[in-house]
Chains A and B, each alone.
Chain A
Amino acid sequence: MKFKSQHTYRNTMQHIRDGILVVNTETIAGKVITQNLGVVGGSTVRAKNIGRDFTQGIRNIFGGELLKYTELLEESRNEAIARMVADAAARGANAIVNVRFATSAVTAGAAELFAYGTAVTVE
């Protein structure tokens, strides 16, 4: 059976196109870290709109996946990662290691998505 949540793998591999390696391990296997350029991060705050809140509220009565919210968070996460990668590129890094993600609700309607890691140069 196919469910809608198997949506496409859109912008998620943007960092590879940018030529910056992003991993969440402490080292990159097969490469040597030569320089540490500090912590880089990127964040987005996303608000859900009232109409979407209403439709997802109806979906909530039945239970199950809230597809629109999944898509919203996916897009926001891509944006946060893109900002982190841009930050690292501005510092002249070619890789980001030990990436972590954090989600927090700023107000009742808005979620902040934050990605951070260490920008390094590898050989």
Chain B
Amino acid sequence: MHYRTNRVRTLAIALLSVLAFSVVVSAQGVVEERPEEGPPMILFVVGFCVLPWVLLSLVWVVYGVAYPFMFIFGALFGGRNLEKRINAVVLRERSSIEHFGKDPLSTLKGSHIVGGVNNSGLVYSSIVYAPSHWMLLIAWFNNLVGGRVDILQRAVAAARSEAKQLLRERAKEAGWDEVLNVRIDTAEMAPGGRNALVRGAVEIFAYGTGVKYG
């Protein structure tokens, strides 16, 4: 939305102006060399240019210290959370199938509808899903040996069923009776390399045409 880009823009402009101001002021300080000036200009330069980097590196230090604990936590509870999520999706699926009387999603084009169609429109849903670093490590080991990588397949399958379920819920919300010509796209979200912060994230995007029987 717009306010977000505005905020980023103002922040960038403010940072740049502060930088320019501090550079100009420090240059003046060097030229004039007045010892009776209150705080030395070097303080401003340090405050505005060096301090942010120091804080940033502190954040990274904290990250580095906390990472092993977070990793172990993810390894211990990641699988269980995934299981919980899959079970919740199964329950939601059941309730929406009850509402529609059948599974509303299909890849058919609509020629099977006998009574005719009153109204139609686009319906879509997306979800960004990432496997935990523990799963990525296991997948890396699997890569060495070869064969199936079941642990990643489970995560992506869970994300896909959730995207499909979101599509059903949105169709229900918009009042459609059925969703035709459903397509499911999978896109790599973060194709960064080894140094990327977010690794292995995929975006699942499902869309179709909702129809209302005439």
- Closest A residue, CB atoms, query B183: A24
- Least distance between A19 CB and chain B CB atoms (Å): 12
Neighbouring A residues of B48 by C-beta, 8 Å: none
A81 to B159, CA, bound (A): 23
A87 at interface (Cβ–Cβ under 8 A)? no
Neighbouring B residues of A24 by C-beta, 8 Å: 122, 181, 183, 207-209
- Closest B residue, CB atoms, query A20: B121
Task: Please determine whether A60 and B118 come into contact, CB atoms closer than 8 angstroms.
Answer: no
Neighbouring A residues of B67 by C-beta, 8 Å: 61
Given A3-B85, A63-B155, A23:B130 Cβ within 8 A? no
Task: Please determine whether A64 and B120 come into contact, CB atoms closer than 8 angstroms.
Answer: no
A62 to B129, CA, bound (A): 11
B71 at interface (Cβ–Cβ under 8 A)? yes
Give chain A interface residues in 4-24, CB to chain B under 8 Å. Answer: 5-6, 9, 12-13, 15-16, 21-24
Task: Please determine whether A30 and B214 come into contact, CB atoms closer than 8 angstroms.
Answer: yes
Main secondary structure of the interface of A (DSSP, over half): mixed
Task: Please determine whether A23 and B120 come into contact, CB atoms closer than 8 angstroms.
Answer: yes
Stretch binding the partner chain, chosen from B32-40, B97-105, B196-204: B196-204
Give chain A interface residues in 50-79, CB to chain B under 8 Å. Answer: 53-54, 56-67, 69-70, 73-75, 77
A58 to B73, CA, bound (A): 12
Contact of A108 among B78, B117, B190 (CB under 8 A): B190
A5 to B127, CA, bound (A): 8
Task: Please determine whether A74 and B126 come into contact, CB atoms closer than 8 angstroms.
Answer: yes
Task: Please determine whether B128 and A69 come into contact, CB atoms closer than 8 angstroms.
Answer: yes
Stretch binding the partner chain, chosen from B13-21, B23-31, B140-148, B165-173: B165-173
Give chain A interface residues in 22-44, CB to chain B under 8 Å. Answer: 22-26, 28-30
Q: A57-B198, A99-B122, A108-B192 are in contact. List 6 more A-B contacts (CB 8 A).
A: A49-B8, A56-B197, A60-B130, A63-B82, A73-B205, A111-B203
- Shortest 10 CB-CB distances between A and B: which pairs? A63-B132, A57-B197, A29-B117, A103-B187, A69-B128, A62-B74, A23-B209, A22-B122, A108-B192, A66-B128
10 contacts between A and B (CB under 8 A): A1-B84, A6-B169, A12-B123, A21-B120, A59-B130, A63-B132, A63-B135, A64-B82, A103-B185, A111-B203
Residue positions of B touching A, CB distance < 8 A: 1, 8, 59, 63, 67, 70-71, 73-74, 77-78, 81-82, 84-85, 88, 91, 109-110, 113, 116-118, 120-124, 126-135, 155, 159, 162, 166, 169-170, 173-174, 180-181, 183, 185, 187-193, 196-201, 203, 205, 207-209, 211, 214
